[in-house]
């Protein structure tokens, strides 16, 4: 299942040429991941407080295919690829209508308060399968 998250490109997102600054794509996909997790019913504050674990991005491999521009209406697609004991692998794409502008392979890991890898809580694993 693919989660869809709308994004509007604002002037502050662009460079002098009106093209989206490359780092802002990472912001767009972060917002989409947060919204996806919330839509799954995962309360990240509760996960941190009760289970003592949080999600962090371990790796992002990104390809910039076409530029987005000021005032574009975009959509971020998030698709979960795999879940292991402490990892989530996903692909995130930014689309403008039928044009794929950006694609990223993202590895998210679960860590404890000391920063070490930790197993995903069982209730969270169930929501992800």
**Known catalytic residue at 15:** yes
Could you say which of 15, 39, 43, 71 is catalytic? 15
Are 18 and 70 in contact by the 8 Å Cβ rule? The answer is yes
Long-range contacts of 77-81 (CB under 8 A, 24+ apart): 77/2, 77/3, 77/4, 78/2, 78/3, 78/5, 78/29, 78/32, 78/33, 78/36, 79/1, 79/2, 79/3, 80/1, 80/128
Give me the active site residues, please: 15
């Amino acid at each position: 299942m693919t989660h869809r998250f709308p994004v509007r490109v604002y002037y502050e997102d662009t460079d002098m040429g009106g093209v989206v600054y490359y780092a802002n794509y990472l912001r767009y996909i972060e917002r989409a991941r947060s919204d996806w997790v919330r839509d799954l019913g995962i309360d990240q504050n509760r996960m941190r407080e009760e289970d003592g674990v949080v999600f962090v991005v371990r790796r992002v491999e990104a390809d910039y295919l076409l530029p987005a521009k000021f005032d574009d209406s975009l959509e971020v697609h998030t698709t979960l690829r795999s879940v292991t004991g402490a990892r989530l692998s996903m692909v995130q794409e930014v689309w403008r209508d039928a044009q794929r502008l950006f694609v990223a392979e993202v590895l998210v890991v679960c860590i404890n308060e000391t920063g070490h890898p930790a197993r995903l809580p069982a209730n969270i694993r169930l929501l992800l399968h």
